[in-house]
Amino acid sequence: MVDKFQHYTNKSAIHVLWECLVAQDVWAVSVRRLQKGVGGQCDFRQLMEELLLKLPTEELKIFLVQAWLLWTQRNSVIHGGNKQDPSQLAKRATKFLEEFKQSHEHLTVQTSVARCSRWNPPPGASFKLNFDVAIFQDIDALGFGAIIRNGLGEVMASI
């Protein structure tokens, strides 16, 4: 099977993700609408446009995850890895989506009311540095930003 993947290393995305035998094996065990997918698209963009019109949101998500897994498998095989069974790829896609949904259910975002403050320019020909930090204790993370402006309010640098 390595030879089959190596043969497709220079092929287009539409071929690798939709038309080749390995991809067809994956779609054959996927959701019903993908099993009956029609070929003949000139590129991956055209395929995506058709699938956006044809598939419900959840099935489109499955397609996108399966396409990602298929491309990842292709890269793995090209670099010496083993080909996975198509039915396992389909199950992994469903599992990834389920884990993603569960992880988002546990995320909570606390909103705080931003205080209103008015920026005042620095005196004369000097610069002014403003910065802020946000601490997210729930997820052990923080973010920061800084901006330097001249007396006209023009941004000189930011991060």
Q: How far is CA 1 from CA 30, 39, 81, in A?
A: 21, 23, 11
DSSP 155: E
The predicted pLDDT at position 2 comes to 45
The dihedral formed by the CA atoms of 99, 101, 107 and 108, expressed in degrees to the nearest 10: -160
Amino acid residing at 44 = F
**Same domain, yes or no: 78 and 113:** no
Q: Other C-beta atoms within 10 Å of 135: how many?
A: 10
The predicted pLDDT at position 101 comes to 84
Domain that includes residue 59, residue range = 2-106
Tally of structural domains, the chain: 2
Amino acid residing at 18 = W
The predicted pLDDT at position 6 comes to 43
Q: Other C-beta atoms within 10 Å of 8: how many?
A: 19
The predicted pLDDT at position 5 comes to 46
CB 74 within 8 Å of CB 84: no
Q: Which residues in the chain show pLDDT less than 70?
A: 1-11, 33, 35-38, 108-116
The predicted pLDDT at position 108 comes to 63
**Same domain, yes or no: 61 and 79:** yes
**Same domain, yes or no: 17 and 88:** yes
**Same domain, yes or no: 59 and 89:** yes
The predicted pLDDT at position 8 comes to 43
The predicted pLDDT at position 78 comes to 85
CA–CA separation, 150 vs 145, rounded Å? 17
